Amino acid sequence: MLNVKNLHFAYQKTPVLRALNFNIQPGINTAIIGESGSGKSTLLKLLYGEYDLDSGHIFWKDTEILGPKHNLIVGYDFMKYVAQEFNLMPFISVEENIGKHLSNFFPNEKKDRTAELLEVVQLTEFAKTKVKLLSGGQKQRVALARALAQTPEILLLDEPFSHIDNFQKQTLRRRVFNYLKEKNIACLVATHDQEDVLGFADQIIVLNNQTIAAQGKPEDLYKNPESALVAAFFGEFNQIKNQFIYAHQLKMVNKSDIKVMVKNAYFKGSFFLIEASFNSKTIVFEHASKLTKGDIVYLEISK
Ligand SMILES: Nc1ncnc2c1ncn2[C@@H]1O[C@H](COP(=O)(O)OP(=O)(O)OP(=O)(O)O)[C@@H](O)[C@H]1O
């Protein structure tokens, strides 16, 4: 189990994280969300042992994760970290990068393992390509495969699919997260993308104001967001009658006490997002067809 106890950390004098406490069981996928600058990457780096804590403790099972003051080399064998910068070796091939930490004593196993990982990240056809010739998204996939090569017990991922196009992202995400579950690898993913969370994360940790603002299952936080920050992560929302109401939870009806005037309509594929004014505030709702600026319509909350 990952056990974070009363963690405090500041860069020089600026506090970034304070009084963090949480546990993560083996094989559990945890998403870390929060505004830009809320400390998501810093938390992953602390869990990896890249910096010394100001106070508190981090344990993985019985091993305390310690920073550079205590360790000559940062990191532990049971843990891998894929940073936003990837840190690959540009002048050797994709398969050589992935196989870098695999033993040469067992060439057949090394070959099979590399092939399996290339398959997971969908880079089989680039096996022999030098990393410096790859796109940002391809490099990101090599970094993922390399982190998985020795089957860590815990994997820290910072925005793991941010450079990958939508076309490949959906399949890749499914393959990687299913692979982690299959191998019982605990995973912490810092992300802005709700698609990385819904359907994959077992739990979410929300960072705000240097601390954990909310923690829970994706379904529970979605149904009961409790703060604008959490609601915003899941999509367009409104604050009506002291409740957080997602845009799709407002339906047009013949008559109601929510009378609005249409301001704009944005095409979103399967629906239009309508921006309207209600009691001199702006609200948003989804509608199957385009509405015209100036139209007066009535809405009902349907949860
Ligand atoms: N090496 C550093 N030295 C000093 N301050 C830093 C350093 N790295 C980050 N910070 C500051 O610490 C805070 C948290 O940064 P961090 O990168 O952890 O946030 P984040 O939530 O990961 O942001 P993003 O979503 O934009 O990646 C920010 O205010 C940032 O400016």
Q: What is the CATH number of the domain that holds 173?
A: 3.40.50.300
Domain assignment present for 223: yes
Q: Which atom of ligand 1 is nearest to the CA of 159?
A: 27
The protein residue with its alpha carbon nearest to ligand 1, atom 5, reads 11
pLDDT value at position 188? 97
Instruction: Read off the pLDDT of residues 68-91 as tens digits, 9 standing for 90 and up.
Output: 999 888 999 999 999 888 789 999
Statement to judge: residues 164 and 279 lie in one domain: no
CB of 37 within 6 A of ligand 1: the answer is yes
Tell me the best of 9, 16, 205 to mutate to test the pocket of ligand 1, counting ligand atoms within 8 Å of each CB and taking the most: 16
The protein residue with its alpha carbon nearest to ligand 1, atom 7, reads 11
Instruction: Read off the pLDDT of residues 237-253 as tens digits, 9 standing for 90 and up.
Output: 999 888 999 999 999 99
Q: Does residue 53 or residue 162 have the better pLDDT?
A: 53
Statement to judge: residues 82 and 166 lie in one domain: yes
The protein residue with its alpha carbon nearest to ligand 1, atom 8, reads 42
Among the candidates 228, 258, 278, a domain finishes at 228
CB of 41 within 6 A of ligand 1: the answer is yes
Domain assignment present for 234: no
pLDDT value at position 72? 85
Q: Which atom of ligand 1 is nearest to the CA of 190?
A: 22
CB of 49 within 6 A of ligand 1: the answer is no
Domain assignment present for 233: no
CB of 15 within 6 A of ligand 1: the answer is no
Statement to judge: residues 70 and 180 lie in one domain: yes
38 CA → ligand 1 middle, Å? 7
Number of domains in the chain: 2
The answer on pLDDT for 123 being more than 90 is yes
pLDDT value at position 260? 96
| Contact yes or no for 66/49 (Cβ under 8 A) | yes
Q: Give the 3-state secondary structure of the chain.
A: CEEEEEEEEEECCEEEEEEEEEEECCCCEEEEEECCCCCHHHHHHHHHCCCCCCEEEEEECCEECCCCCCCCCCCCCCEEEECCCCCCCCCCEHHHHHHCCCCCCCHHHHHHHHHHHHHHCCCHHHCCCEHHHCCHHHHHHHHHHHHHCCCCCEEEEECCCCCCCHHHHHHHHHHHHHHHHHCCCEEEEECCCHHHCCCCCCEEEEEECCEEEEEECHHHHHHCCCCHHHHHHHCCEEEECCEEEEHHHEEEECCCCEEEEEEEEEECCCCEEEEEEECCEEEEEEECCCCCCCCEEEEEECC
Containing structural domain, residue 96? 2-228
The answer on pLDDT for 106 being more than 90 is no
| Contact yes or no for 156/188 (Cβ under 8 A) | yes
223 CA → ligand 1 middle, Å? 30
Statement to judge: residues 133 and 244 lie in one domain: no
Statement to judge: residues 211 and 288 lie in one domain: no
Statement to judge: residues 83 and 125 lie in one domain: yes
42 CA → ligand 1 middle, Å? 6
Statement to judge: residues 152 and 293 lie in one domain: no
32 CA → ligand 1 middle, Å? 14
Q: pLDDT class for 198, splitting at 50, 70, 90?
A: confident
209 CA → ligand 1 middle, Å? 13
Q: What is the CATH number of the domain that holds 248?
A: 2.40.50.140
The protein residue with its alpha carbon nearest to ligand 1, atom 11, reads 37
Domain assignment present for 296: yes
Statement to judge: residues 56 and 159 lie in one domain: yes
Statement to judge: residues 136 and 282 lie in one domain: no
The answer on pLDDT for 14 being more than 90 is no
Across residues 122-133, what is the average pLDDT? Answer: 95
Statement to judge: residues 248 and 162 lie in one domain: no
